[in-house]
Amino acid sequence: MRLRGVRRSTNVEDRRGMRGLPMAGAGGLGLGGLLLILVIGLFTDIDLTPFVSGNGGTAGAYLPDELSPEEEQAADFTLRVLATTEDVWTTVMAEQAGLQYDPPVLVLFSGVTSSPCGGASGATGPFYCPADRKAYLDLDFFATLSSRLGAAGDFAAAYVVAHEVAHHIQNELGILGQINTARQQMSDREANALSVALELQADCLAGVWAAHVEGLLDPGDVAEAMNAARMIGDDRLQGAAGRVPQPHTFTHGTSAQRARWFGTGYDSGQMASCDTFRAEQL
């Protein structure tokens, strides 16, 4: 992705200078629990529990740490990508939805931090918290995405940022609140199915963003994003964790579904193409 000359977003809360050391029992998770989450829960990137349980932040002790050049480079890349989402959605929201776009704040952290949606950990992957309208990202996830999940490339990382911003779009449109209300009245199986539609819509909206930054793309960038979408499908992640995929437990969609809906948004460039809730087939 060609980002030279692209501005850096200022909608950032940088907590990376304080690396968290989770206390025993914090949030009910010790080191073993965090590692288990890393194996079976990567990229569970939206948490609606604050609307249900009111979870607080994770307790912990924090030690200052210097940031490496690699960390600073990753932050620079991320903030430039975030700026492109601000420019795109300011235009697209006005033209296609008749709304003024109010961008989210991106919280960069290292290790663990807290949010109104509960404790945030690099082990659980990026997520969006509707309670404070912020996206949370440990930049180490990009290395995990590339080395452990097989989704290499800068545009794979850009897709992650765009997906979290897409959840903010859903929040701005009132979709997250509606989904939360509906989920509370459903069985777990039905609620999971609704979560899948929500996540696939976010993938589609990320594709819409990609369509509108096409002038910044290098050859192969779209393929990188499509591959990333496949690598984080529920079926693949459950299989990689040594489990037999259980469709009724899926919350994000299969590899094929995630790649297809990103492609739908990219091919159309239209928010209207992303209505996964009324789609005859996901």
148-171 tens-digit pLDDT:
888 889 999 999 999 999 999 999
Say whether pLDDT at 229 is over 60. Answer: yes
For residue 3, pLDDT beyond 80: yes
At residue 26, the pLDDT reads 36
Other beta carbons within 10 Å of 181: 10
pLDDT band at 121 (very low <50, low <70, confident <90, very high): confident
**For residue 18, what pLDDT band results from cuts at 50, 70 and 90?**
low
- pLDDT of 52 > 70? The answer is no
pLDDT at 145 (0 to 100): 86
The pLDDT of residue 36 is above 50: no
The predicted structure's pLDDT at residue 65: 60
- Output the average pLDDT for the chain: 84
Q: Which of 47-51, 91-95, 142-146 ranks highest by mean pLDDT?
A: 91-95
Give the confidence band of 66 by pLDDT, cuts at 50, 70, 90. confident
Which of the four pLDDT bands, split at 50, 70 and 90, describes residue 43? very low
pLDDT score recorded for residue 70: 83
- List, for residues 166-212, the tens digit of each pLDDT value: 999 999 999 999 998 999 999 999 999 999 999 999 999 999 999 99
For the ranges 56-65, 114-123, 137-146, 252-261, the one whose mean pLDDT is highest: 252-261
Domain range list for the chain: 12-274
